[in-house]
Amino acid sequence: MKVLVPIKRVIDYNVKVRVKPDNSDVDLANVKMAINPFCEIAVEEAVRLKEAGIATEVVAVSIGDKSCQEQLRTALALGADRAIQIDTSETLDALNIAKLLQKVVEEEAPQLVILGKQSIDSDNNQTGQMLAALTNMPQGTFASEVKVEDNKVKVTREIDGGLQTLLLDMPAVVTTDLRLNEPRYASLPNIMKAKRKPLAVKNAADFGIDLRPRTKLIKVTPPAERQAGIIVETIDELVEKLKNEAKVIS
């Protein structure tokens, strides 16, 4: 069974995000980048399927310029067998990403596509669902547990009312939630081995897809700064400040 794992290059979640002075976008200059945390969970789940003898090959794929090869090599160090970079310098919206991944799915014919439920930069939570629709594959989103048996995948997903279990025919698309697993750290020997694993580069323009954006980024602004809190000595002082300063009670 082949498992395809799309991953995204994002700002490391430990880094404080800065906005460009002209508010045109997020400032990426000299910023540490990493695999999107939800994508890292997807890689871990695929590798665990291979270690359990269920999957035979794990293929990581990322869309972007040459810089995303760093994250692909990390995925290889975590246990993926080979990687594919779809080379483009354009900033793509979720639909265009899903269309490119559709072409990769058609070429690779995986039995399972596992990807993060969302990226921590755009937070759209769209690509997995769009890919499932474009490929006409069943989908299980927000997965907290994945089990493969008898050419079917059982997905336990988190919903507002608790847990829901789906049984999907493969090939299928699964998007990962935080509680699915805890990703491992890449060991130094595996990092060195990853340098020798195959990484294919394909040009996005060769797929024959209209990659013109459907959305336009107008402006990026940082959140308003919060005022510092104060310590009050008595209940009466608290009530007075809530009434006259915060004006949240009357």
Q: Domains of the chain: which residue ranges?
A: 2-224
**Contacts for 138 with CB less than 8 Å, ≥ 6 apart:** 132, 166, 168, 169, 172, 173
Residue 213 is predicted with a pLDDT of 86
- pLDDT band (50, 70, 90) for residue 33: very high
- What is residue 227's predicted lDDT score, i.e. its pLDDT? 80
Percentage of the chain beyond pLDDT 70 is 100
- DSSP 8-state secondary structure symbol assigned to residue 28: -
Tokens of 92: 């793509």
81-94: pLDDT as tens digits: 999 999 998 888 99
Q: What is the mean pLDDT of residues 116-141?
A: 94
pLDDT at 91: 84
Chain centre to alpha carbon of residue 211: 20
H-type alpha helices, the chain: 37-51, 69-78, 94-108, 127-135, 188-194, 235-244
- Both tokens assigned to 2: 């082949």
Instruction: Give the residue-averaged pLDDT of 14-35.
Output: 89
Residue 48 confidence (pLDDT): 97
pLDDT digits (tens, 9 = 90+) for 46-60: 999 999 999 999 999
Q: What is the dihedral sign for C-alpha 15, 19, 25, 31? A: negative
Average pLDDT of the residues in 147-174? 93
CA–CA separation, 79 and 47 (whole Å): 6
- pLDDT of amino acid 30: 87
- The pLDDT value given to residue 148: 95
Q: pLDDT, tens digit, for every residue of 172-183? A: 999 999 999 999
- 67 phi and psi angles, rounded to 5 deg: -60, -25
Average pLDDT estimate for 142-171: 93
DSSP string, 42-79: HHHHHHHHHHTTS-SEEEEEEEESGGGHHHHHHHHHHT
CATH architecture of residue range(s) 2-224? 3-Layer(aba) Sandwich (3.40)
Structural contact between residues 65 and 41, judged by C-beta atoms closer than 8 angstroms: no
What pLDDT does 244 receive? 87
pLDDT tier at 224, thresholds 50, 70, 90:
confident
Closest CA to 143 of 120, 119, 164, 113: 164
Instruction: Say how far apart CA 65 and CA 89 lie, in whole Å.
Output: 5
User: Quick check: 250 pLDDT over 80?
Assistant: no
Look up the pTM and report it.
Answer: 0.86
The reported pLDDT for the residue numbered 140 is: 95
Model confidence band, residue 230 (pLDDT cutoffs 50, 70, 90): confident
Q: Are 131 and 102 in contact (CB under 8 A)?
A: yes
pLDDT level of residue 25 (50, 70, 90 thresholds):
confident
